[in-house]
Amino acid sequence: MPKQNEEILSAVPLTYTVKQAAEILHTNESGIRALIKSGQLRVLRPRGTTLIYSKTLIDFIEDCEGWDLSDPYNPIKVDCDDK
């Protein structure tokens, strides 16, 4: 693996807590838990702790671009075109 990639990977945590994910997504912990419960956001639960892989969080952000997830059970496509 190139040294530059190693430096980038070492700077990014492997996992985030629900609180950290909420800070990254500029929402609250209950919003993250709703995304988890609805199946929109996959998690890892070792020993009762809920963790989210950084790659999973990045994929979630990319996949949900253009969607309103205010109600994670009923996502709404958002028209982002300025006409």
The pLDDT-based confidence of 22 (bands split at 50, 70, 90) is very high
Candidate CATH numbers 1.10.1660.10, 3.40.1160.10, 1.10.3720.10, 3.30.413.10; the one for domain 14-77? 1.10.1660.10
47: left (phi over 0), alpha (psi -120 to 50) or beta: left
Q: Indicate whether 83 pLDDT > 60.
A: no
Domain boundaries, the chain: 14-77
Q: For 5-20, how does the pLDDT look when each residue is reduced to its tens digit (9 = 90+)?
A: 666 667 778 999 999 9
The pLDDT-based confidence of 68 (bands split at 50, 70, 90) is very high
Residue 18, burial from CB neighbour count under 10 angstroms (0-12, 13-18, 19+)? buried
**What angle is formed at CA 61 by the lines to CA 57 and CA 62, rounded to 5 degrees?**
120
Can you tell me whether residue 13 is helix, strand or coil?
A: coil
Q: For 39-64, how does the pLDDT look when each residue is reduced to its tens digit (9 = 90+)?
A: 999 999 989 899 999 999 999 999 99
